[in-house]
Structure 1
Amino acid sequence: MNAVPVYARFFKYFKAVALVPIALAATVSIAQPQPIVMASTTSTEQSGLFGSLLPAFKQFSGIDIKVVALGTGQAIDMGRRGDADVLFVHDQVAEEKVVAEGFALKRFPVMYNDFVLVGPAADPAKTRGKDIVEALKKLNAANASFISRGDKSGTHAAELRYWKNAGVDNPQFAGYKACGCGMGPALNIGSSSSAYVLTDRGTWLSFKNRGELAVLVEGDTRLFNQYGVMVVNPARHPQVRLAEAQKFVDWIVSPAGQASIASYKIGGEQLFFPNATK
């Protein structure tokens, strides 16, 4: 007479015990740390660098990083709003400003490459050479087709400096078009329209849809392109994950992180050159 109730009680106990590992697994899953957010440039992302760099950092630290690739100006604005934990960008003036304003901690130089002017290989505006300022003067005079990123990126900021040096504070010739887009899309527009484009060399080397485009101006010391990294200030934004973000900064400027940057190549050509200082 008592067999059924005893069995029922045993089954209820067994069911409860069996559910314990499932509950523990769910708790462990929920406890997994979320990736830190890095606001960076389209050039570092579209060059493929992060596809090599971030797995090496994950292996070292166990920390995942979610990259939001924007123009440098927009990336820095993410830091100002507290929407990122770390910034990896390339406009030193803007970087030093955001540190001075207290929205980011100390800025560290990380690596460099250079900008190049690409355009139709036939070079109708006769820009070919090593002088970026003279090249832009010729583009302006010839009313040549030029695609600007126009997105407040580090590349766009550099482009505007070069135009200013060329005596053109606000390019408005008919051939000048601002796409408001990343480096890859700007190069695609340039390729499809045989236009001139200022690009960082890393993105150019990884860009496949070149069409008639070729490097026309390179080697000018003014084309130097420095990258920096900094942690967003947790005093302004308490949600910033300081320990994890600082761990990335410490790693990327360490010999291991610098070696990882140097090892990234396309077709045997190195895209970025580490130059962190202690």
Structure 2
Amino acid sequence: MFRAAIKSAMILFGLFAGPAAAEEPFIVVQSTTSTQNSGLLDFILPGFEAESGIDVRVVAVGTGQAIRNAINGDGDVLLVHAKPAEKQFVADGWGVERRDVMYNDFVLVGPKSDPAKIKGGDDAVAALAAIAQAKAPFASRADDSGTHKAEKALWSLSGTDPTLSSGEWYRETGSGMGATLNLAAGMDAYALTDRATWLSFGNKGNLEILVEGDPRLFNQYGVILVNPEKHPRVRAAAGKRFIDWLTGPDGQEAIAAYKLNGEQLFFPNAQQ
């Protein structure tokens, strides 16, 4: 967390300082809260920085906001987890190329009392339908993040529009995964979360994983270089070097090596 705070301060300095600071070898990576909060980036980035001499400054926000930031030219590399939106980003000319990096999965968590009776299931869509039928509390990020996009797709498959019950059993936080899980823990609510953030989350309270293993809970991450033709200030050479490292043997091995309490959080799957 201390490293992340220092990085954030350096980002602000790097973006607004004068020409001398702009010549320092660094890149800005627009990424998601899950890669930062899980501890993955703190684990893998020192290896790249030591090998390349390039400092990596991370802006960790929801995927939707990360994409908007990249469109605005506020970054050199995009590392997020919403494949349709990533493909659209490239198709619209904002990114040069999209490459798979790694994956994990989403899980449905909820209170041990499980009022919707979904525990042990592997059908996330049926589970959401049961939650809606029971009008059991559900905490949503509602922030256009990759997790929120996945949640909305699952609700759509269930034939339910939970936003019609916003403020009732469906609670929209407009916040990150940690804050949303804190709310869920405080009110014994269900929530959709990526597994890495869940494993890293300390305030689980009465919450536990209730539904997992549905193929529709697959969570793919991709990396894209921001198009320097759209934003000439993009550090294209340094950004490409980072992408090549992340999707190459060294980066992929570093991702696979990151574990929490002996459990691997991300699984590399870049095409070599």
TM-score (norm 1): 0.88
Q: Which amino acid aligns with 1:268?
A: G
Greater CA drift, 50-59 or 84-93? 50-59
- CA distance, structure 1, for counterparts of residue 254 and residue 27 of structure 2: 20
1:228 aligns with 2:228: no
Q: Deviations over 1:165-200 (max 9, x none)?
A: 000145323210110111111111111111111000
Q: Which amino acid aligns with 1:243?
A: A
CA contact (8 A) 2:162 2:170 kept: no
Q: Deviations over 1:4-36 (max 9, x none)?
A: xxxxxxxxxxxxxxxxxxxxxxxxx86861531
Cα offset, 1:155, TM superposition: 0.3
Q: Deviations over 1:136-164 (max 9, x none)?
A: 00110111110000000000000000000
Q: Which amino acid aligns with 2:173?
A: C
Name 1:99's counterpart in structure 2.
90
Name 1:145's counterpart in structure 2.
137
Name 1:82's counterpart in structure 2.
73
% identical equivalent positions = 54
1:62 aligns with 2:62: no
Counterpart mapping for 1:191-210 below 5 A: 191-210=185-204
**Structure 2 residue matching 1:106: 3-state secondary structure:** strand
1:39 aligns with 2:30: yes
Tell me which of 105, 109, 122 is aligned to 1:118: 109
Consecutive unaligned residues of structure 2, counting only runs of 5 or more, are 1-19
Name 2:126's counterpart in structure 1.
134
**Structure 1 residue matching 2:149: 3-state secondary structure:** helix
Greater CA drift, 182-191 or 149-158? 182-191
- CA distance, structure 2, for counterparts of residue 223 and residue 153 of structure 1: 15
Q: Which amino acid aligns with 1:84?
A: G
- CA distance, structure 2, for counterparts of residue 40 and residue 65 of structure 1: 11
- CA distance, structure 1, for counterparts of residue 37 and residue 80 of structure 2: 13
**Structure 1 residue matching 2:109: 3-state secondary structure:** strand
Name 1:212's counterpart in structure 2.
206
Cα offset, 1:125, TM superposition: 1.0
Name 1:6's counterpart in structure 2.
none
Name 2:13's counterpart in structure 1.
none
CA contact (8 A) 1:163 1:171 kept: no
Name 1:172's counterpart in structure 2.
164
Larger radius of gyration: 1
- CA distance, structure 2, for counterparts of residue 196 and residue 172 of structure 1: 17
Name 1:262's counterpart in structure 2.
256
